[in-house]
Chain A
Amino acid sequence: MASQGIEIQKADNNGIICLSLKGYMDMNSSPDVRDVLTEHFDRSTKAIIVDLSEVPYIDSSGIATLVEGLQWSHSSEKKFRLVGLTPTVKDIFEIARLLQVFEVFNTLDEANQGV
C-alpha cells in the first residue's frame, strides 16, 4: 500500500507530551513517528499521550512502534496512553490482541486524567 504520509503535531504540557498524528501509520511513515516518539523516552517526560483520532489506518509496523512506547512506560513506570482510536484502527488492535494491553481513552481530557 502506498504511503499517504503522516503529519505529527507535538505539544508539551509540563512534561506531558501529546503527539497528534494525522494520516496513515504504515511501514513508510512509522519510522517518522518512532523518531519523534523515542525523543521523549527520557526522565523529563512525565507521560506520553498519542492521539490517533485522525489515523484512519495502522499496520503492524505502526502497532510495533506504539509497543515501544508501552515498553518505555513499563521500564520507566510513566504513563503511555492512546486516544481516539478510529473503528478500523480499533479493529486492527483487536486482531493483534493488544487492545487490552494499552491504556486507551476516548478523549484527550480523559487521557490527561491521572497522568
Chain B
Amino acid sequence: MTEADKNLMYFNPDEEESPKQTAATAPKDAPEPKPEIMMELRDVSKAFGEGDQRIMVLEGFNATFEKGQVTSIMGGSGSGKSTVLKHMIGAYKPDSGKIFVDGEDITGFNQKQMDTVRKKFGFMFQSGALFQSMSVEENVALPLREHTDLNETTIKIMVKLKLEMVGLRGCEHLKPAQLSGGMIKRIALARAIALDPKMVFYDEPSAGLDPISIGVIDKLIVDLTKKMGITAVVVTHELPSAMRISDKIIMLFKGKIVFEGSPEEIRTSDDPRVIQFINGSPDGPIPFSKSQVDLGEELKQMNFL
C-alpha cells in the first residue's frame, strides 16, 4: 500500500480539511491512527418463529465496521451472515440492540428515514442482478437516473469513469448476456459505486467465478475501498479470498461471533470451530444437521393419534 493509499484510508469528506500527517511530521513511535467507525451493531439479537418453533438467528452480535477497511463476514450456511447483512441495510429490525451509521442511531428509523441512510450504501448482489434487457451503460446509469437529477451528459461521463475503474471502459453497448461471469460482477460493482457510496456491501462477490476472475474482483474491492475511503462489508464463503482482501474477518456460528480478527489471527486460531471452517472438514463442532433438537427425541414426540 502506498502512503497516499494509507492517507486516503482515513479520509472523511464530511470533515474539514486538515493537514495530512506524514512520516516527516508524525511524532516518532506515534501509534497508527485508528480508522473511524462507519457502522456499529451493538448487542443485536434476532429470532424467528414463536414458542417451540422460535429460533435464535442472531444473539448479542457486536461489531464495528471501519472507514476505508474491508470487513468480511464468514460462516457456514445458516450461521447468521445474511441476517447480519439484512440488519445492516435496514431490511430487518433487531428484536433488541442498536445499529449506528456514522454515529447516528438508525434502529428506529422509518422507511423514509432509511431511504436517506441507504443513499450512503452501494450493493453488489451475488448474481450481479443486472437487467438483461439493458445495455451495460444503462445498467450502470440506472441508480444515477433513478436517484439524482443529473443531466444525461453528466451521467454518461460518470458511467464511463466508473467503467474505467473496473477496467471495462468500451463495453458500454454490450448486453449482460454477452458478458462473462467475471465481467458481470465487475459491471455490478461499477453500478454499486455509481452514486459514490460511503459503504458498499458485497454479497458473495466471488461465487461461481474462476480463480483469475476472483483475483480481479478481490483487487477491485481492495483498491476501491482504500483509494475511495469506502467501508466494505463482504459476505463470503471463499476463505482464500477473505484472507486476501480483509482487514478484519468476523466468523459466525449459530448466530454468534466465534472469531473476530485479522487474517493472520484467524490462521493461528486454535478454536476448533474456526479450524474446522478453515479446513473445510465435515466433522467437528459445526454439525452437518441444522436441527436444534435431537432426532430421537423429535421422533418420539411425533404424535399422529
| Chain A residues close to B by CB (< 8 Å) | 1, 24, 26-27, 30-31, 34, 56-57, 59-61, 63-65, 67-68, 86-88, 91, 94-98
- Assess the B13–A56 pair: CB atoms within 8 A: yes
B151 at the interface (CB under 8 A from A): yes
List 17 additional contacts besides A60-B158, A60-B161, A61-B150; criterion CB under 8 Å: A27-B150, A27-B195, A30-B154, A31-B149, A34-B151, A56-B17, A59-B196, A61-B158, A64-B154, A64-B161, A65-B154, A68-B154, A87-B17, A88-B11, A91-B11, A95-B165, A96-B165
Given the known interface contacts A27-B195, A31-B151, A95-B227, the answer about A63 and B161 at a Cβ–Cβ threshold of 8 Å is yes
Q: Which of B120, B151, B155 has the most CB of A within 10 A?
A: B151
Residue interface bits B236-280, CB-to-A below 8 A is 1, else 0: 000000000000000000000000000000000000000000000
23 inter-chain pairs at a CB distance below 8 angstroms, sorted by A residue, are: A1-B196, A1-B198, A27-B196, A30-B154, A31-B149, A63-B161, A64-B150, A64-B155, A64-B158, A64-B161, A65-B154, A67-B161, A68-B157, A88-B11, A88-B13, A91-B4, A91-B8, A91-B11, A95-B8, A95-B165, A95-B227, A96-B164, A98-B161
B20 at the interface (CB under 8 A from A): yes
- Assess the A97–B164 pair: CB atoms within 8 A: yes
Residues of B within 8 A of A27 (CB): 148, 150, 195-196
